[in-house]
């Protein structure tokens, strides 16, 4: 049996424009499961797919996010014309239990796939009675929804493939290695809470009397993946070294919050206990040894501001050359409480100041159009952006999307004239920050030809995902070159080769 995994992650309407240097953990995990079960498997990013080649495969997996709906719908329509292969859709897009009524796939995998895929293989991909799936019953011509699967407790079943060369840009990409699955924020968004006397979720609780989904209201991670639990250090290090042997130069230790790593076994409290400093230092020190051995970089991304303290900053600065990503979402403290956030804007301010002190580049997330947003919350968010701009390397702004299985799944984006001010402010601040790079000489990994000017190239900084357009750099794809930055734009830098 031959299987194909089509990576549609972050492809939106069919082609990745941003985050082209990201290789997620999901498709590699699916490939590893299939290979361990004796099935030939190959990954193809959507932009590299030749639709005529798909007829060679018996089963086709599609990995996508909710925002990739248009891309996946169009892809499945094309596949149906070319092949009789079984089409299985997974990833965050499949958290919509009624997805197969909108996209004509055969099976969807809801949530974690480690056990579900193995069961499907044993049943020759007949999804009847398989937990964690929905499927189209062609005899009755209706969608069947099986019960959800319990969360995975044996993380040794996470067996990602390290055959990374399925991706053309593996040498310049940020390759994600899963460290923590699930999230420790089992608070609830107070915007939905009608019982003002209830205090059960102050520090997190598994059960809510009102059945409000856990976590920040806009996020589905706690509902889908459950409480935070960590993979074994040895498994993580083996996976990293195998990827580095293949020529990967940037590894991201992936987690909804890296500071949840080994913090507790069944972690639902976003505040206590403190980070497991010893486990974090042990992992990072060994990652540093591997990075030095293979001349690569190890990066950490998401951290909760309320857990990021001076002791963490010292450990990070000792072993990492990295950007850290901190969620703020709203700069209004009361709004953060209504959203179910574990951190306040003041926590974020303290965290970015610590990051700056220890030479760690901080990037901060915000969302516009959120439930509960109004003129006051927008004004406070904009003021807060200006308050942190001297301590950070970038602001990332997203438009609110109602994700299936999140507490806010039934809300629509609340886009007003005030909402757009958040996006406009972020663009102005990002341009202001990027102008500070002008005149600097930086090492850049040359990744691919420019989309329009074939003499130029797209590259990335080794310690982050910051994009650099390198003039006349197309002949150096795959190499690390020194580049002098001559221009700055809100989303990328432009530079010329230096020293050649």
Q: What pTM was estimated for this model as a whole?
A: 0.93
% of the chain at pLDDT higher than 90: 88
Average pLDDT over all residues of the chain: 94
pLDDT value, residue 12 = 75
**Mean pLDDT, residues 485-496:** 94
The sign of the dihedral angle between the CA atoms of 266, 271, 276, 281 is positive
With bands split at pLDDT 50, 70 and 90, how would you rate the model's confidence at 17?
low
pLDDT value, residue 360 = 92
160-216 residue pLDDT tens: 999 999 999 999 999 999 999 999 999 999 999 998 788 888 899 999 999 999 999
Domains annotated on the chain, with CATH: 2-145 (3.40.50.280), 171-435 (3.80.30.20), 438-497 (2.40.50.140)
Q: Is 413 exposed, middle or buried (0-12, 13-18, 19+ CB in 10 A)?
A: middle
**How far apart are the C-alpha atoms of 156 and 114, rounded to whole Å?**
10
Please check the confidence at residue 390 and state whether its pLDDT lies above 80.
yes
With bands split at pLDDT 50, 70 and 90, how would you rate the model's confidence at 463?
confident
pLDDT value, residue 234 = 98
Query: Can you spell out the DSSP letters for 275-286?
Result: --HHHHHHHHHH
pLDDT value, residue 289 = 97
pLDDT value, residue 86 = 96
Q: Strand order in 302-303's β-sheet?
A: 302-303, 323-329, 361-368, 394-399
Please check the confidence at residue 80 and state whether its pLDDT lies above 80.
yes
pLDDT value, residue 451 = 82
Place of tokens 């390198």: 470
The sign of the dihedral angle between the CA atoms of 114, 115, 119, 120 is negative
323-366 residue pLDDT tens: 899 999 999 999 999 999 999 999 999 999 999 999 999 999 99
Q: Which residues lie closer than 8 Å to 327 by C-beta, 6 or more apart?
A: 216, 302, 304, 305, 341, 343, 364, 365
| Contact assessment for residue 233 and residue 286, using Cβ atoms and an 8 Å cutoff | yes
Residue 95 tokens, joined: 């958290």
**Mean pLDDT, residues 271-294:** 97
**How far apart are the C-alpha atoms of 359 and 323, rounded to whole Å?**
10
pLDDT value, residue 321 = 78
- Per DSSP, the three-state class of 412 is coil
With bands split at pLDDT 50, 70 and 90, how would you rate the model's confidence at 23?
very high
The vertex-178 CA angle with 17 and 134, nearest 5°, equals 75
pLDDT value, residue 198 = 87
- Per DSSP, the three-state class of 493 is strand
With bands split at pLDDT 50, 70 and 90, how would you rate the model's confidence at 444?
very high
Q: Which residues lie closer than 8 Å to 154 by C-beta, 6 or more apart?
A: none
pLDDT value, residue 219 = 96
96-130 residue pLDDT tens: 999 999 999 999 999 999 999 999 999 999 999 99
Helix (H) or strand (E) holding 231: none
- Per DSSP, the three-state class of 494 is strand
The end-to-end CA distance of the chain, in Å, is 50
Neighbours of 40 (CB within 10 A): 12
pLDDT value, residue 326 = 96
């Amino acid at each position: 049996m031959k299987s194909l995994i089509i990576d549609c992650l972050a492809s939106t309407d069919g082609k990745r424009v941003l985050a082209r240097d990201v290789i997620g953990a999901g498709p590699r995990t699916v490939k590893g499961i299939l290979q361990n079960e004796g099935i030939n498997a190959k990954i193809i990013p959507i932009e590299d797919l030749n639709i005529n080649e798909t007829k060679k495969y018996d089963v086709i997996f599609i990995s996508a996010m909710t925002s990739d709906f248009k891309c996946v719908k169009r892809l499945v329509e094309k596949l149906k014309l070319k092949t009789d292969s079984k089409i299985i859709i997974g990833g965050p897009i499949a958290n919509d239990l009624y997805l197969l009524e909108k996209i004509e796939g055969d099976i969807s995998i809801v949530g974690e796939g480690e056990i579900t895929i193995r069961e499907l293989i044993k049943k020759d991909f007949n999804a009847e009675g398989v937990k964690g799936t929905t499927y189209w019953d062609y005899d009755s011509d209706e969608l069947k929804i099986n019960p959800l699967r319990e969360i995975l407790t044996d993380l040794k079943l996470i067996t990602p493939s390290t055959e990374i060369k399925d991706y053309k840009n593996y040498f310049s990409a940020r390759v994600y290695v899963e460290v923590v699955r699930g999230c420790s924020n089992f608070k609830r968004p107070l915007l939905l809470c009608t019982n003002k006397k209830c205090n059960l979720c102050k520090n997190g609780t598994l059960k809510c009397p009102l059945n409000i989904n856990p976590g920040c209201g806009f996020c589905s991670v706690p509902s889908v993946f459950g409480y935070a639990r960590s993979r074994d250090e040895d498994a993580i290090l083996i996976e990293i070294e195998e990827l580095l042997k293949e020529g990967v130069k940037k590894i991201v230790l992936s987690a909804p919050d890296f500071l949840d790593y080994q913090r507790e076994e069944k972690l639902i409290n976003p505040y206590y206990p403190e980070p497991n400093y010893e486990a974090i230092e042990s992992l990072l020190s060994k990652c540093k040894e591997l990075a030095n051995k293979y001349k690569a970089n190890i990066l950490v991304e998401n951290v909760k501001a309320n857990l990021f303290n001076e002791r963490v900053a010292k450990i990070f600065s000792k072993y990492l050359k990295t950007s850290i990503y901190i969620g703020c979402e709203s700069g209004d403290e009361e709004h953060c409480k209504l959203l179910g956030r574990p951190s306040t804007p003041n926590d974020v301010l303290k965290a970015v100041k610590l990051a700056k002190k220890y030479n760690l580049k901080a990037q901060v997330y915000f969302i516009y159009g959120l439930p509960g947003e109004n003129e006051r919350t927008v004004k406070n968010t904009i003021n807060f952006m200006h308050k942190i701009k001297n301590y950070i390397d970038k602001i990332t702004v997203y438009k609110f999307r109602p994700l299936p299985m999140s507490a806010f799944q039934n809300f629509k984006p609340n886009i007003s004239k005030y909402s757009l001010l958040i996006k406009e402010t972020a663009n102005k601040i990002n341009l202001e920050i990027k102008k500070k790079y002008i005149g600097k000489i930086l090492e850049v990994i040359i990744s691919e030809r420019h989309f329009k000017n074939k003499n130029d190239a797209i590259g990335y900084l080794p310690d982050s995902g910051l994009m650099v357009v390198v003039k006349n750099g197309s002949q150096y794809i795959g190499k690390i070159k020194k580049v002098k930055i001559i221009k700055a734009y809100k989303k990328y830098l432009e530079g010329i080769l230096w020293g050649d």
